[in-house]
Amino acid sequence: MESSKITQVFGITPSELKEDILKDVRAELKEIVQNFQPVKPPEYITRQEAAKILKVSLVTLTDWNKKGVLKPYRLGNLIRYKRSELDEALIAISKR
């Protein structure tokens, strides 16, 4: 036999209880909205754009690929770089 669970609340009306619950839920949702950071997809750029950003020639870019300074991504015959990784490489190169 199933026993029903009953919760009794004294000293508060049902509408006051509802308002208190709604107030707490709204406060939690507001905090979640303030801290929410949408995930941005990585931005891929071409060799020419990378060379322009780094202010180097395409030959230097190829050399840096071989030395492991940059990490190229291949899509068939195309080579792309992540913008965020280029920024990190720029910082690392300037510290040398």
- Give me the residue spans of the domains in the chain: 44-95
Confidence category of residue 2, pLDDT binned at 50, 70, 90: low
Cα–Cα distances (Å) from 24 to 10, 19, 55, 58, in that order, read 19, 9, 54, 58
Residues paired with residue 82 on neighbouring β-strands, in sequence order? 44
* Cα–Cα distance, 62 to 72 (Å, whole number): 9
pLDDT score at 41: 87
In percent, the amount of the chain with pLDDT more than 70 equals 95
Q: Which pTM does this prediction carry?
A: 0.56
For 60-96, the pLDDT digits (tens) are 999 999 988 899 999 889 999 999 898 888 787 777 6
CATH class of 44-95: mainly alpha
